[in-house]
């Protein structure tokens, strides 16, 4: 004799523990830190697009060559 089909039963509880919120917050901090690092890198690169010392030397050479 076969048993009658009883169906399925399941439950799910979303794990919102204290630790998981801390992990999410830590990830947000690391993202903001990474964005700050990228901004700092952009600033360094932008400053490298001009070379004030080299430009001063070139200008000095140009002025000297005008007087010759």
* E strands present in the chain: none
The model's pTM? 0.37
**Structural domain range at position 54:** 27-67
Is 32 inside a domain boundary?
A: yes
Is 10 inside a domain boundary?
A: no
Is 14 inside a domain boundary?
A: no
Is 1 inside a domain boundary?
A: no
Banded model confidence at residue 62, pLDDT cuts 50, 70, 90: very high
Is the confidence at residue 57, as pLDDT, over 80? yes
**What's the whole-number mean pLDDT along residues 16-32?**
68
Is 52 inside a domain boundary?
A: yes
Percent share of the chain, pLDDT over 90: 18
Q: How many helices (H) and strands (E) does the chain have?
A: 2, 0
Is 20 inside a domain boundary?
A: no
- Number of domains present in the structure of the chain: 1
**What's the whole-number mean pLDDT along residues 21-35?**
75
């Amino acid at each position: 004799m076969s048993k009658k089909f009883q169906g399925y039963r399941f439950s799910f509880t979303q794990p919102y523990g204290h630790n998981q919120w801390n992990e999410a917050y830590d990830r947000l901090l690391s993202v903001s830190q990474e964005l700050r690092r990228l901004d700092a890198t952009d600033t360094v690169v932008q400053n490298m697009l001009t070379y004030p010392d080299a430009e001063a030397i070139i200008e000095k050479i140009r002025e000297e060559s005008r007087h010759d």
